[in-house]
């Protein structure tokens, strides 16, 4: 089943009448792969976004004349574009100042630099089933903790 051009066209035109500068984003496996750098760029933009989410087989190709960007979230198939759209929206919104609370929250996450995964993290108790929290993390020595975190961060593939 393909989504027909006319209802999509009408919906996009209605949304564009409310925000003429809004960018139309099409969720599709053939789109460019969404990355953290994209989320950062979009979160800093003043544009609105219109997410077009397909179902099953996709869209009537004629809708492409309204699309500003085709986006994919990975090399796998889902039943529709709603989950990719929600993933993208979440990755953008969490970078908007004030959304997460502290500004440091988003600044030290995985992929902020485009290539590093976050270090392991621990909670209390200090020992659970003979597994210990590394001593350095309990030391209170900020410099040593930062060095430990840097050493234990992983490079993304």
What domains can you pick out in the chain, each with its CATH number? 2-93 (3.40.1280.10), 108-155 (1.10.1270.20)
Q: Is the pLDDT of residue 112 over 70?
A: no
State mean pLDDT over 104-132.
Answer: 76
State mean pLDDT over 53-70.
Answer: 91
pLDDT at residue 108 in the model: 56
Please classify residue 63 by burial: count the beta carbons closer than 10 Å to its beta carbon, then call 0-12 exposed, 13-18 middle and 19+ buried: buried
Q: Whole-prediction pTM value?
A: 0.75
154 band by pLDDT with thresholds 50, 70 and 90: confident
With residue 7 as reference, give the H or E element that holds it.
helix 5-18
pLDDT at residue 65 in the model: 94
Q: Which residue spans within 37-113 are E strands per DSSP?
A: 49-53, 58-59, 69-72
> pLDDT > 90: what percent of the chain?
71
Tell me which DSSP letter residue 118 carries.
P
Each residue of 98-110: pLDDT tens digit?
A: 888 765 555 556 5
């Amino acid at each position: 089943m393909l989504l027909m051009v006319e209802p999509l066209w009408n919906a996009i035109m209605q949304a564009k009448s409310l925000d003429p500068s809004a960018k139309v984003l099409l969720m599709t496996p053939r789109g460019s792969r969404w990355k953290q750098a994209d989320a950062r760029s979009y979160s800093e933009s003043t544009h609105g976004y219109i997410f077009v989410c397909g179902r099953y087989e996709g869209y009537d190709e004629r809708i492409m004349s309204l699309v500003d960007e085709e986006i994919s979230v990975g090399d796998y198939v889902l039943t529709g574009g709603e989950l990719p759209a929600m993933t993208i929206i979440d990755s953008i919104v969490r970078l908007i100042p004030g959304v997460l609370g502290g500004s440091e929250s988003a600044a030290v996450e995985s992929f902020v630099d485009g290539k590093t995964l976050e270090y392991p993290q621990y909670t209390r108790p200090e020992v659970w089933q003979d597994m210990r929290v590394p001593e350095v993390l309990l030391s209170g020595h900020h410099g040593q903790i930062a060095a430990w975190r840097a050493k234990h961060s992983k490079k993304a593939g």
